[in-house]
Chains A and B, each alone.
Chain A
Amino acid sequence: NAGVTQTPKFQVLKTGQSMTLQCAQDMNHEYMSWYRQDPGMGLRLIHYSVGAGITDQGEVPNGYNVSRSTTEDFPLRLLSAAPSQTSVYFCASSYVRGSYEQYFGPGTRLTVT
């Protein structure tokens, strides 16, 4: 099993550009989520999904879109990148929502100039 994979590992965008961060898991987990990690702010939940076709907003959803067409994939879209979106992004999955053990991807380090 590859676990949770994320691509790309690093990305630099100009303000206003759009891009999609990819996340996939091969553990048949129902619950998937996206976090951003910033110094002094810790991990903050952006969006989450409790199953294919179902998504919901977390704490900091503005500027991000998600979709969940399959159990395996949960891409995060930045529609118009802003410098405030410079961060490290983590995708995580677990068997169900509320499961105590989440599996994290290696992260994507995004810089918006």
Chain B
Amino acid sequence: SQELEQSPQSLIVQEGKNLTINCTSSKTLYGLYWYKQKYGEGLIFLMMLQKGGEEKSHEKITAKLDEKKQQSSLHITASQPSHAGIYLCGAYRNAGNNRKLIWGLGTSLAVNP
């Protein structure tokens, strides 16, 4: 099973609608990253959340970290076709003396004009 579970797996919304994507961890979260992948392209860093309760915004995208729930949510307000793509969350896990970056499977977002 995935250490980072994303929901929903896919989402289709009408332009202008709000939406939320969740990323839930099976272990304690010390920090969480959100990336966006446009279809057929690489990943682009959106934002990083480090502390419980932290909230960050980038244009119309807001992400929050709830450490108690071991969950982060990504909220898009008034969605636009440019928001379409795959949203991935990532988090570091301690692995012995090293840290390992793990990833969710992604949420595919389509925005219909």
Interface of A with B (CB < 8 Å)?
A: 4, 40-43, 45, 90, 92, 97-98, 100-107
- Chain B neighbourhood of A90, CB < 8 A: 42-43
Most chain A CB within a 10 A radius of its CB, from B2, B43, B100: B43
B23 in contact (CB, < 8 A): no
CA distance A42 to B48 in the complex (A): 19
Report how many residues on chain B are interfacial, defined by Cβ distance under 8 Å: 20
With both chains docked as a complex, state the minimum distance between the C-beta of B21 and any C-beta of chain A, in angstroms: 15
Q: Is the interface of A mostly helix, strand, loop or mixed?
A: loop
With both chains docked as a complex, state the minimum distance between the C-beta of B72 and any C-beta of chain A, in angstroms: 14
CA distance A53 to B113 in the complex (A): 50
**Closest A residue, CB atoms, query B38:** A106
- Chain A neighbourhood of B44, CB < 8 A: 104
Q: Do B31 and A100 touch across chains, with their CB atoms under 8 A apart?
A: yes
Q: Select B45's contact among A43, A102, A105, A107, beta carbons within 8 Å.
A: A102
Q: Do B104 and A42 touch across chains, with their CB atoms under 8 A apart?
A: yes
- Chain B neighbourhood of A40, CB < 8 A: 105
Q: Do A101 and B45 touch across chains, with their CB atoms under 8 A apart?
A: yes
With both chains docked as a complex, state the minimum distance between the C-beta of A37 and any C-beta of chain B, in angstroms: 9
7 nearest CB pairs, A to B:
A104-B42, A104-B43, A43-B103, A100-B48, A42-B105, A101-B45, A106-B42
CA distance A100 to B92 in the complex (A): 9
With both chains docked as a complex, state the minimum distance between the C-beta of B22 and any C-beta of chain A, in angstroms: 16
Starting from the known contacts A40-B105, A45-B101, A104-B43, 7 additional A-B residue pairs (CB-CB under 8 Å) come to: A4-B42, A42-B106, A43-B88, A90-B42, A100-B48, A102-B45, A106-B42
